[in-house]
Structure 1
Amino acid sequence: MKDFKIYITIACLLLGIYFVTQYNKPDDINWQSTLYYKDKIPFGTYITYNQLRWLNPRAHIVNTNKSIYNAFHGDSLQGGTYIILAKNITLNKFDFEAMLKYIKAGNTVFMSAFDWRGYIADTLKISSRAEYTSKNTTLNFTNNKLKRPVDYSFNRDIANQYFDSYDTARAVVLGMNHYEHSTFLSYKFGKGKLLICATPAVFTNYSLLTLQGADYAEKALSYLPAAKYVYWDQFQNGDIPEDGSPMRVFFSNPSLQWAYYLCVFSLLLFVIYEVKRRQRIIPVIEPLKNTSVEFVNVVGQVYYEKRNNANIAHKKTIYLLGYIRERYKINTSKLDKEFIAMLSQKAGVELSIIQELVVTLLFVSTHGHITDHELIKLNHLIEQFYIKSR
């Protein structure tokens, strides 16, 4: 038994060590390209988003999850810079025209994506594709002030995207790869400009943790002028947080939301009121028992054991005559023919029954010994009188 406990102890210790090891084991690296500003995985944009304050210290960084049209339409945006980093960018005619109006007013829009679709691709005549090479892809700027003597080198194919077509008459090339394919373009519209980049992965955490990647991203973003407001778009990349709460249906509808708040407030008010008004439990009091029947049974048993029929007949006679005096206001001192006729008339009982009852009453009042049969007869006549009288 002792050896068995030792084995159990060792097994529990090993199991505990296994669980602790598994719990503290680092998670597998997620190489998915999300470009999400909160992701710290290699291809998230956590560093770029947080470094915007360092690149433009006086700017207010504002996140927007509105569609392009809703964001640029009207006066919802202040003057400044609008940044879109997404896996693909799709703009229709209304989106593009609303964005163009914002740019022409003297603002800047920076866009970087792997794929370009819709009206913006047709209008700017842009399309992108990837270089397929076994070597690392290199990038550089065309501006001599920013150009590096040795090209920026990127691995894991994060800089292999480029523009294979674009409107050369309108676009200014700001960056190229080692095949002299354009990767960074600028368009002038009114007082502002549109900057588009074919390599969004160079702005991810994986790239910025290298010296070359950080330097390239810093110089690329230096084309963004100093502005009071910098807007970070979440809509194009699908970074709109979804509410997984079971109450999302209520909170998405103002009427249901207020109805929910009203119910919660009413329930809270009811609970508070009930707590103050709650009384102690009232004990159950059993009703008093009716002992009349038991009393009659006891008295009847006493009289029955004494066998004094005359006394019982006398008492029943006295009670009956008292009832007649009180109920019908008839004098009972003389039980004669006049009494019989008056009682029959007032009580509504047949004259023959009244006559038989009076004869029996006179009989028991004048005899000292009453048999059981005579007592029963008297009781039967009295009950019959009570039943038939009105």
Structure 2
Amino acid sequence: MANKLDKKTKIYAVLFVLLIFGYIYLESTKKQPINWFPSFVAKHKIPLGTYVLNKELSSIFPSNNIETVAIPPYVYLQDSTRTGTYFFVDEALNFGDAEFLRLLKFVARGNDVFISTHGMNIDTLNFETERLVSKNLDEKVFFKQLNKAFKGIEYSYDRPFINQVFTKIDTLNTTVLGITGYINANEERTEEGINFVKHSYGKGNFYLHTFPEVFTNYNTLHEINHQHTANILSYLREDIPILWDAYYKTGKSKITSPLQYLLGSKHLKWAYYMALIGILVFVIFEGKRKQRSIPIITPLKNQTVAFTRTIANMYFEKQEHKNIAEHKISYLLEFIRVKLHIQTIKIDAVFYENVALRSGNSLEDVEKLFKFCDAIHLKNQITNEELIKLNSLIEKFKKTIQYGK
């Protein structure tokens, strides 16, 4: 029966392992889904990374020096001699007050700052934004730049995104450069708003844009929309460096942990999973093979009472009442030394008085007990009645200590 069970267990184990490896094979060979994570990182080649734009900037602006800034603007702009167009593109940007103040000073000296992100409420420049929502699911988004040089061409975008528009602008210092909205099935505009502006500040300009997806790999490689990207970039100056921000990014631009490195590669990821599964299988089956039933060990019985009874019966049967009495007197003296902390070297009136005070017995009862003990010591043999009397006196003495009179 046991051999039959072992054989069945082995069959199940082999089937389980084959099932695991079959699953791993199917998972490792199937087509991986497209990663639509909005990273906006220059090193990422996923659809919403900015690898293509970052590589093409040098050819688009051959006379400009392209510099990557991987530190916060607050730190980078400590040097007041910095010049260029500070280029920010990310899903969300949140500058601190002190940091934005340095950007203001940077622009006031004659530089530019280009910011493309979803939603920005910049109280310092009197800008506010809100989300533009289409009324029907069949409507499509449009983007249009107002510069006549672009001939009023409109562009669209077929991926879901957050379409933000400016609801408040500083009309005295701001120029509207682009708009966005929605068109229904009848080619009628149902919603419209401003999504690209130029704001003059000091000797420089802020360019504020609410559609960062236009700079991603997916859009720049589009057969039509790449021109939309080029039109927006045409506002960048060619006489100063372009400072590409690599600090404010939703995605991670570099590997920050060994596990991220393992899971970042398809082959290493599945090798890691196989190792974990192998360890799990080893623990399950190896642990089962090595485990043995633990025998129940019955604890040893306390034989002290039985032993005492046996010894007592031996003395009693041999009529050695004197030896029993001597033992009981010795145990009584030991009891007094341990419990009452009274020396028993000298049995006298002082001893009687101390024992009576500490035990709660009367002085007469204590004297009676120990004088009877002295009488026992002087006899060679004692009777059964004398042994019983001695035991009664000792038990009465102990009970008084334990329970009181």
TM-score, structure 1 as length reference: 0.53
Aligned to 2:127: 126
Residues 1:233 and 2:245 aligned together: yes
Measured after TM superposition, the shift of residue 243 of structure 1 is: 4.3
Aligned to 1:335: none
**Would the aligned equivalents of 2:80 and 2:106 in 1 still touch at CA under 8 Å?**
no
**Would the aligned equivalents of 2:143 and 2:178 in 1 still touch at CA under 8 Å?**
yes
Measured after TM superposition, the shift of residue 177 of structure 1 is: 1.4
Measured after TM superposition, the shift of residue 13 of structure 1 is: 12
- Greater Cα radius of gyration, structure 1 or 2: 1
Correspondence for 2:69 among 54, 58, 64: 64
Measured after TM superposition, the shift of residue 212 of structure 1 is: 2.8
Residues 1:116 and 2:116 aligned together: no
Distance 1:17 1:228 in 2: 58
**1:258-291 superposed Cα distances (whole Å, 9 cap, x missing partner):** xxxxxxxxxxxxxxxxxxxxxxxxxxxxxxxxxx
Output aligned runs, 1:74-113, within 5 Å: 74-75=79-80, 77=82, 79-113=83-117
Q: Which runs of 5+ in 2 are unaligned?
A: 1-16, 182-190, 260-405
Output aligned runs, 1:1-390, within 5 Å: 22-75=27-80, 77=82, 79-117=83-121, 121-133=122-134, 134=137, 135-149=139-153, 151-158=154-161, 160-178=163-181, 179-237=191-249, 239=252, 241=254, 243-244=256-257
Measured after TM superposition, the shift of residue 108 of structure 1 is: 1.6
Measured after TM superposition, the shift of residue 19 of structure 1 is: 6.0
Cα 1:76–1:241 shift into 2, 3 Å: farther
**Would the aligned equivalents of 1:108 and 1:192 in 2 still touch at CA under 8 Å?**
yes
Distance 1:164 1:177 in 2: 13
Measured after TM superposition, the shift of residue 96 of structure 1 is: 2.1
TM-score, structure 2 as length reference: 0.51
Measured after TM superposition, the shift of residue 165 of structure 1 is: 2.1
Cα 1:95–1:242 shift into 2, 3 Å: farther
RMSD: 3.1
Distance 1:243 1:153 in 2: 37
Distance 1:143 1:54 in 2: 23
Aligned residues: 234
Cα 1:210–1:243 shift into 2, 3 Å: closer
Q: Match of 2:159, as an amino acid? A: R
Measured after TM superposition, the shift of residue 241 of structure 1 is: 4.1
Cα 1:158–1:204 shift into 2, 3 Å: farther
**Would the aligned equivalents of 2:195 and 2:211 in 1 still touch at CA under 8 Å?**
yes
Measured after TM superposition, the shift of residue 167 of structure 1 is: 2.0
Cα 1:159–1:202 shift into 2, 3 Å: farther
Q: Which runs of 5+ in 1 are unaligned?
A: 1-11, 247-390
Cα 1:15–1:126 shift into 2, 3 Å: same
Identity of aligned residues (%): 27
3-state SS in 1 of match to 2:160: coil
3-state SS in 2 of match to 1:181: strand
3-state SS in 2 of match to 1:237: coil
**Would the aligned equivalents of 2:88 and 2:116 in 1 still touch at CA under 8 Å?**
yes
